[in-house]
Amino acid sequence: MPDVDVVLPVYNEEADLPRNVPILHHFLSSDALPYPWRILIVDNASTDGTPVAAQKLCAELSHLDYMRIPQKGRGHALKASWSQSKADIVSYMDIDLSTELTAFSALIRAVAEGEFAVATGSRLARGAQTARSPLREVLSRGYSFLVRRALGSRLSDAQCGFKAADREAVQRLLPLIKDNNWFFDTELLILAEKSGLRVAEIPVRWREDPDSTVDIRKTVVEDLRGLWRLRRDQPWRQR
């Protein structure tokens, strides 16, 4: 039986942690996932009460650990946790639980059963359901179009915060990923795809978090720079 690490990258999430970690813990404890699992909260340089909230949860719940790193950025959090993990499968999801948990079992099974090396949630695949503002919808679809056209990808949604990979794929891909922030997701999937690894897209139900603190303008700029870098450098051709 493969074991699974479920990573929650967090930055200043003292409110969402006590609200959503118990929901995730209850879901995993209800036999929704037929594999041994651990939840790992990875705090990347929070300046609020996140460390206290996380450590309190660790004292109350089983199969829950906490890691703190000094750098801010989701890519930093995933690189640090995934590279140190001893689990057969590593995964992550956003702490706001915007992606409905019912899709998590399918995400993990896609990797655990050996058919795919990487799996990602998709808000744009057939069967997916989303609830978000018109602006976010346009930006998401526009970005997906650019990823396909600029990089020759077949992916429908590169940025859904809901992913899993087997240990071998992670060891192979992490050293190649340069981005340490939001573009990490796209870079992971593109490098996997271009390296010949099979990537599963799992349709998900997703709702926009009205309290999200993501700076959309800054994220768009970073993503466009990341796309240009990958198109220019094509690191998969240099191996």
Q: Within a 10 A sphere around the Cβ of 138, how many other Cβ atoms?
A: 10
* Beta pairing class for 64-69 and 118-122: unpaired
233 is catalytic: no
Residue keyed to tokens 């999200």: 212
Give me the catalytic one of 185, 215, 223, 233: 185
Any idea what the Cα angle at residue 92 is, between residues 91 and 97, rounded to 5°?
135
Annotated active-site positions, please?
A: 185
